[in-house]
């Protein structure tokens, strides 16, 4: 990616990843469905004093951007807490708004989770989140996590990195050659 490229961070929360993109010269946009997260991100934008940043409240399953609008789209820990249909829709929307030669970046839990204390801690935190969040987490694990999503979404994995004692996976992917003419 090059400075000036347009990047979307999906489920951006307080905007920290968006700010990192902006500091590296990208035109960075963050979306989140939670209005309180967007309010916090906008307050943080003032503190960071970055002009190449924008935020808006939006649903990741129905992104308010035109096809092929961004050079890159990323999501960090925004898939494991959703049901299978919503997860697939989020990835489909990310594919739609990224240019054919663009990049998709996914960071989430490794599946299967390794047998270590950090994975046990992650399971405990997800259990304590309870409700739909925990049901989404269990479904994410049951359905193969990121590897399954990459395959069913017809993406081509370019790079995979394991982080934090193997509990986190970072995947860089592009649209599969069969996914577009």
- What average pLDDT score do residues 40-45 get? 94
- Whether residue 85 is predicted with pLDDT greater than 80 in this model: the reply is yes
Would you state the pLDDT for residue 180? 45
Query: In the chain, what percentage of residues exceed pLDDT 90?
Result: 85
Give per-residue pLDDT as tens, 66-75. 999 999 999 9
Would you state the pLDDT for residue 177? 55
Would you state the pLDDT for residue 150? 93
Hey, where are the domains in the chain?
6-179
Cβ atoms of 166 and 117 closer than 8 Å: no
What confidence tier does 179 reach under pLDDT thresholds 50, 70, 90?
very low
- Whether residue 23 is predicted with pLDDT greater than 90 in this model: the reply is yes
Query: In the chain, what percentage of residues exceed pLDDT 70?
Result: 97
Total Cβ atoms within 10 A of residue 147: 15
For residue 70 the two structure tokens come to: 């961004």
Would you state the pLDDT for residue 51? 87
Instruction: Report yes or no on whether pTM surpasses 0.85.
Output: yes
For residue 44 the two structure tokens come to: 């943080």
- CATH architecture of structural domain 6-179: 3-Layer(aba) Sandwich (3.40)
What confidence tier does 1 reach under pLDDT thresholds 50, 70, 90?
confident
Give per-residue pLDDT as tens, 45-72. 999 888 899 999 999 999 999 999 999 9
30, exposed or middle or buried, with CB in 10 Å at 0-12, 13-18, 19+? buried
Give per-residue pLDDT as tens, 151-171. 999 999 999 999 988 899 999
Give per-residue pLDDT as tens, 12-21. 999 999 999 9
- How distant, in Å, are the alpha carbons of 25, 29, 31, 39, 100 from that of 65? 21, 11, 11, 20, 15
């Amino acid at each position: 990616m090059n400075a000036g490229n347009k990047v979307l961070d999906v489920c951006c929360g307080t905007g920290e990843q968006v700010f990192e993109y902006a500091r590296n010269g990208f035109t960075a946009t963050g979306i989140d469905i939670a209005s309180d997260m967007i309010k916090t991100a906008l307050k943080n934008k003032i503190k960071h004093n970055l002009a190449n940043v924008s935020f808006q409240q939006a649903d990741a399953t129905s992104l308010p951007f035109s096809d092929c609008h961004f050079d890159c789209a990323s999501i960090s820990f925004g898939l494991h807490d959703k049901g299978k249909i919503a997860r697939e829709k989020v990835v489909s929307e990310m594919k739609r708004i990224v240019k054919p030669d663009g990049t998709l970046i996914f960071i989430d839990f490794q599946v299967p989770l390794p047998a270590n204390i950090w994975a046990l801690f992650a399971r405990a935190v997800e259990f304590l989140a309870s409700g739909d969040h925990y049901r989404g987490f269990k479904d994410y694990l049951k359905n193969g996590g990121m590897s399954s999503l990459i395959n069913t979404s017809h993406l081509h994995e370019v790079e995979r990195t394991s982080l934090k004692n193997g509990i986190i996976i970072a995947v860089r992917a592009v649209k599969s050659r069969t996914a577009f003419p």
